[in-house]
Amino acid sequence: MTEIENHDPFAVFRREAERALSAALVEVGVDDTEIVLEKPPKGMGDLGFPCFPLAKILKMTPNKIAEDIASKITPNGTIDGVEAKGGYVNFHVRFDMLAKATISTALAARERFGSGPSKGVKVLLEHTSVNPTGPMHIGRARNPIIGDTLARIMRLAGYDVLTEFYVNDVGRQVATMTWGVKNLTIGDAPNGGKGDHRFVPYYREAHKKCEEDPKVLEEVNALLYKLEHGDPESVELNRKTSETVLEGMMESLRRINIRIDGFTWESRFVENGSVDKVISKLRQSEYCHESDGAQHLELESFGITGRDTKWVFTRSDGTSLYTTRDLAYHLDKFSRSDVAINVLGEDQKLGMQQLAAALNIIGSDRRPEIVFYAFVSLPEGRMSTRKGTVVTLDDLMDEAVDMAYEEVRKRRSDLPEERMREIARTVGLGALRYNIARIQAEKQIVFKWEEALNFEGSSAPFLQYAHARACSILKKADSKPGPASADACARKLVNHHERELLKLVAAFPMVIGECAETRRPHALAAFTQDLAAQFNQFYRYVPVLKAEGDVIEARLALVEAARWTLRNALDCLGIDAPEEM
């Protein structure tokens, strides 16, 4: 086997299907088309080739094209059969060969099963990057969960991934909070010992005073000016307040198994002159205009219309804006990576269009990839940090663990209190992550407690139970099979439930690769749900420990392979895989 084949049991089958299709397409008169293989509906094969795009080229129906192509392919190697159905050419894999490759690979690779060979591609994945002015609410929590899950998937797929948080420490909101901390006297905040909660009352009161008192607004603007021009006292105080809030945020993220590799401070690009260089280039551009002392780019020729064609990059007092500093940050990102990925809320789409135009104007041919996500709202409407209408991530995690504890206490009252609490943390926080990760990023979520903390059906506890059940079977077995027994085991797996489970296990590396390439982590959540459901079907209808001879060894090998697949999929989702529940 080649290195790729060793990581992906489906690789040989997929490659042979592509070769067979390529030759057959030439015979039917198509010699230049992309071969895209899909997963057909259950019972219709293992890989499918859609013929619909060829209908216009060949002036035939997709059904007829599929029949012609299928008739020109003779099954051999790992291809067990070929059939035309519903406009698709469907390929069936030789199960014994797939089973042997899957079991030997899974049992040898264990925690690395599903991994791809190194791609030699450095990825800088920026996520979270919320203003350090208070605790994260559940609407913004979607960002780190999507970002962390995608980073885990891409690492397993063979990418060299560094995650990063861009700290906005010289923006107006942070300056407003810093002014409040310096000038206001306010009692203890709720959850006051935690950094991100401590300064929220100062921020809210300072923001209110800015709206009501022009003198306060002038003072905040003066602080902003000092920050941008490197005033030591202002910079030190601003950094201190930002770091305090940031550490509270990181404490919350660590609770849901998210750790960020690095932090880049916005002030760095002001201090090292990067922002001045960007401004100088923008000023020299033919698109640069001035209005009331402020400078902007006119972006209408870049497809941006209406009031949004003006992209302001300096205020009338000469200070830069967040957008200007973000431009300098992206140039820095490009110097440190082959691929730069941003996870951003859908409200940033226009900003990214403007950024792309500005990059074009200063002569950069690089662009960041953007994973946009829709915000989470409450049934009564959107959340607002300023108004205090939020459900914080901390509140949500506490509630999740408390509700999980009640479930554990009902089901496992035989366990010591400490163990019940431990399981509740694992189950509750896993449920929270999964219920956010499983929704496609572009889809809206109206947050409801009863749905977010569901412990049945499509939920993290359902997946965790499947993993724990596999561990329990293996623990009770007298011996565990190794990779060397794969050939003998493969011939004994003849039951329908065994075959369906093994095919899902075999597909795991391919799913990881596809999720990494398409940047769509929710597809892994769906796959893991299917895997857990199929494992439960197998467990229900196929006796393992009561089997005899070679059959028990084969079934234990399948359980072991499924256990590692579940464990690695859960790890990519950032969810603990308990051995007991």
**527-562 residue pLDDT tens:** 999 999 999 999 999 999 998 888 898 999 999 999
329 is written with which tokens?
């940050």
Q: Write down the mean pLDDT value for the chain.
A: 90
Which pLDDT score is estimated for 188? 58
For the cut 90, the answer to whether the pLDDT of residue 40 exceeds it is no
pLDDT mean over 286-295: 92
Question: How far, in Å, CA of 550 to CA of 377, rounded?
Answer: 55
More confident residue, 451 or 95: 95
List, for residues 107-116, the tens digit of each pLDDT value.
999 999 999 9
**Least-confidence region, from 107-111, 131-135, 378-382, 412-416:** 378-382
pLDDT mean over 321-341: 96
Which pLDDT score is estimated for 381? 54
Which pLDDT score is estimated for 478? 73
For the cut 50, the answer to whether the pLDDT of residue 383 exceeds it is no
More confident residue, 300 or 382: 300
Between helices 549-572 and 138-156, what is the axis angle to 10°? Answer: 130
Which pLDDT score is estimated for 454? 66
For the cut 90, the answer to whether the pLDDT of residue 230 exceeds it is no
Amino acid found at 113: F
Spatial neighbors of 239 by CB under 8 A, at least 6 apart, are 169, 265, 267
Question: How far, in Å, CA of 35 to CA of 528, rounded?
Answer: 27
For the cut 70, the answer to whether the pLDDT of residue 417 exceeds it is yes
For the cut 60, the answer to whether the pLDDT of residue 5 exceeds it is no
Helix (H/G/I), strand (E/B), else coil: 314: strand
For the cut 80, the answer to whether the pLDDT of residue 93 exceeds it is yes
Question: How far, in Å, CA of 376 to CA of 138, rounded?
Answer: 7
Which pLDDT score is estimated for 250? 96
Helix (H/G/I), strand (E/B), else coil: 284: coil
Question: How far, in Å, CA of 249 to CA of 110, rounded?
Answer: 34
Tell me the percentage of the chain whose pLDDT exceeds 90. Answer: 68
Question: How far, in Å, CA of 59 to CA of 420, rounded?
Answer: 65
Dihedral angle over CA of 404, 409, 415, 419, nearest 10: 30
Which pLDDT score is estimated for 307? 84
Which pLDDT score is estimated for 1? 39
CATH class of 3-93: alpha beta
List, for residues 352-371, the tens digit of each pLDDT value.
999 999 999 999 999 999 99
pLDDT mean over 315-335: 92
**358: buried, middle or exposed (CB in 10 Å: 19+, 13-18, 0-12)?**
buried
pLDDT mean over 192-221: 88
Report which of 215, 113, 212, 188 is spatially closest to residue 509, judged by C-alpha positions: 113
Q: Which of 23-37, 275-289, 436-450 has the highest mean pLDDT?
A: 275-289
Give the start-to-end residue ranges of the domains of the chain: 3-93
End-to-end alpha-carbon separation of the chain, Å? 39
For the cut 60, the answer to whether the pLDDT of residue 205 exceeds it is yes
Q: How confident is the model at residue 399 (pLDDT cuts 50, 70, 90)?
A: confident
For the cut 80, the answer to whether the pLDDT of residue 58 exceeds it is yes
Contact 549, 96 (CB under 8 A): no
Going by the DSSP 8-state scheme, the letter that residue 193 receives in this structure is T
For the cut 90, the answer to whether the pLDDT of residue 215 exceeds it is yes
For the cut 70, the answer to whether the pLDDT of residue 463 exceeds it is yes
Which pLDDT score is estimated for 449? 65
Q: What are phi and psi of 567, to 5 degrees?
A: -60, -45
